[in-house]
Amino acid sequence: MSEQPLPVVDYMKIPDDGDPYLEGHKCGECDAIFLGERNICSKCGTRDRMGTIKLSTQGSLYSYAIVHRSFPGVEVPYISAVVDLDDGATLKGNLIKVDPDPEKINFGMPVEVIFADALGRKDRDGNSYLSYFFQPRA
Amino acid sequence: MTDAYVVGVDMIKFGRFPEKTVPQIGSEAIMMALDDCGMTIHDIQALYSGNLGQASGMVGQRILHEIGQTGIPVINVSNACATGATAFREAWASIKAGLYDCVLAVGVEQMGRGLLGGAGGGTGISKEGLLGSGTMPAVFAEAGMEHSNKYGTTFEQFAKVSVKNHHHSTMNSKAMYQIETPLETVMNAEMISYPNTKLMCSVNVDGSAAAVICSEKKTRELGLMGRAIKVRASILASDPWQERDLVMPDVNSCTRKAAKEAYEMAGLGAEDIDLIELHDCFATAEILHYDNLGLCEDGGAGRLIDDGDVALGGRIPVNVSGGLLSKGHPLGATGIANIYEVSTHLRGEAGARQVEGARIGLTHVIGLGSACGIHILEKA
Ligand SMILES: [Zn+2]
């Protein structure tokens, strides 16, 4: 079992000395940004010109769903959010610290990416995970 | 290149048939489609068989084990919710290419109940409810709310789609349900993923549909031109790159690409279409496709549902079968079931729900991942 929490997705990096961040792969030819490692750009087809970037933690709400029915064991309701980051990437995740009420959710609202424990979920070996969430920008 | 004609087509009444096998359910629609044109399995030169649940289970061959092992080639097809349309298109292509002059396409599915989708496992822990939701109602809620963000489309407008399609299905004895659902009933039903309530989600059902497709020469030889349906366009598209498609499965650009190509192939425009069966897997999805199929200018979809343009009797009736929302959505069968529906109207045989004077119709399905199939059909 790992002493430190593990990253919830492979595009989350947890440096030994420093804050966790999300990593994008950006095409050197067309600037398309991808989540997860790759060598070929699926937008323009260019090979071997992918570079890694640290994704922005600032963005705005593009779309959402308020999930009232999910799989057994998943606490509802919650907001499933699609967020456009300021650097052009798009992420999906839970929007927290906002009431799950359409009256309280505004398109374009400024949000930030924060890192926190994965709601207490552990894998079969008992490992903890670090996840990311969106919350309204102060 | 020869034209291709649907000469026999039918679907079973959708429902739940846990006591039957997938090949048995598929065989039923095939026998009905063969009866529709007075043929037997011995007249068929190839079988294109669409199914998702048993994609590696040789469903097409097992169907022939039920109804006649004639030794013809069988092509088993799996392409998400575009599976049936893909099987039909492959059958069509074989006629166009001159490989055969009489082939059969079937789509069949036996569904479980409950939620489809969900963020997959992969490493370690479940991501569902942690990194948003991968359930289908949520994915299509997000697609609908994108439309709200751009054009101000409301929960009530999305709900009206479900009112309309449920109303249509009261005139279709082959639909799973024949019940009216007034607006307040739809909006007050259990919320699954806002803005989709339970009555705004398609019904998981078992079902099958089949079509016999012939070359022009064969259709004439058999004297079947009278009720034949000409395939004016058959298009399949995958999802072209979009900036958000890593987190939002693409249903829009894929449909737009297929629609543009289909109108070009048919030499027609959206204004020439008399009725449409489109992929209303959720009420939110139907609204998007009014824009995507060019039934209105971008953003005009909300007004189309408000004004009744897309209801039976309106300018361009959509999903007069009841759609996936009420007729039901047996994934692999849906693409051929909507070809059956449009063909029935073009033949003037749709009874109470007949779109008067229908001459040209369009069918649309989209499978996430993504695959979009569009067919344009015309009375021969
Ligand atoms: Zn590129």
Sorted by where each begins, the domain ranges of chain B are 4-113+203-379
pLDDT digits (tens, 9 = 90+) for B35-58: 999 999 999 999 999 999 999 999
SS (H, E, C) A32-71: CEEECCCCECCCCCCECCEEEEECCCEEEEEEEEEECCCC
For residue A104, CA distances in Å to A21, A97, A98, A132, B150 come to: 28, 11, 7, 22, 18
Give whole-number Cα distances, B23 to B62, B72, B166, in Å: 6, 17, 29
Contacts of B152 in chain A (CB under 8 A): none
Structure tokens at B288: 């998007």
> Tell me: the pLDDT tens digits for B116-127?
765 544 558 999
pTM for the full predicted model: 0.96
Q: Phi and psi (nearest 5°) for B29?
A: -65, -35
d(CA A63, CA A84): 9
B147 Cα to chain A: minimum distance (Å) = 9
Query: What's the average model confidence in pLDDT over A8-32?
Result: 96
> Which residues, 6+ apart, have CB-to-CB distance to B15 below 8 Å?
B176, B205, B206, B207, B328
Domain B4-113+203-379 has CATH 3.40.50.2300: no
The confidence score (pLDDT) of residue B116 equals 72
Q: Annotated catalytic residue: which of B37, B81, B201, B281?
A: B81
pLDDT value of residue B1: 87
Are the beta carbons of A90 and B129 separated by less than 8 Å? Answer: no
Average pLDDT, chain A: 96
Q: What's the confidence (pLDDT) of residue B112? A: 73
Alpha carbons B160 and B184: distance in angstroms, whole number: 10
Q: B75: Cβ–Cβ under 8 A, 6 or more apart, which residues? A: B46, B47, B48, B49, B60, B87, B90
- Please report, in angstroms and rounded to a whole number, the separation of the first and last CA atoms in chain B: 17
Ligand 1 is an ion; residues with CB less than 5 A from it? A 27, 29-30, 32, 41, 43-44, 46
What band does B155 get if pLDDT is binned at 50, 70 and 90? Answer: very high
Tell me if A131 and B130 make a contact (CB, 8 A cut-off): yes
In chain A, domain spans: 6-136
DSSP string over B173-229: TTSS------HHHHHHSPEEEETEEGGGB----BEEEEEEEEEHHHHHHTT-GGG-E
| Mutate: best of A37, A38, A68, partner B, most B CBs <10 A | A68
Cα B135 from Cα B142, distance rounded (Å): 11
Residues of A in contact with B135 (CB under 8 A): 67, 69-71
- Rounded Cα distance between A82 and A90, Å, is 7
Q: What is the DSSP letter of B71?
A: -
Mean pLDDT over A110-137 rounds to 96
H-helix or E-strand spanning residue A81: strand A78-85
Chain A residues contacting B, CB < 8 Å?
Answer: 6, 8-10, 32, 34-35, 42-43, 62-71, 74-76, 78, 80-82, 84, 88, 90-94, 102, 107-108, 118-119, 121-123, 127, 129, 131-132
**Closest A-chain CA to B147:** A63
CB B41 within 8 A of CB B68: yes
Question: Cβ atoms within 10 A of the Cβ of B220, count?
Answer: 13
Which of A106, A92, A110 has its CA nearest to residue A8?
A: A92
pLDDT of residue B316 exceeding 80, the answer is: yes
A–B interface: beta-carbon pairs under 8 A: 134
**Cα–Cα distance, A99 to A91 (Å, whole number):** 20
Candidate list B147, B329, B345, B364, residue with the active-site label: B329
Is-catalytic flag, B214?
no
Cα distance between the two ends of chain A: 37
What residues contact residue A75 under an 8 Å CB cut-off, 6+ apart?
Answer: A119, B129
pLDDT for B118: 59
Quick one: pLDDT at residue B102?
A: 98
Q: How much is the pLDDT for B123?
A: 59
Residue A1 has a pLDDT of 73
Q: Is the pLDDT score of A70 beyond 80?
A: yes
Q: What is the mean pLDDT of residues B178-205?
A: 97
Distance A49 CA to ligand 1 centre (A): 8
Q: Tell me if residue B329 is catalytic.
A: yes
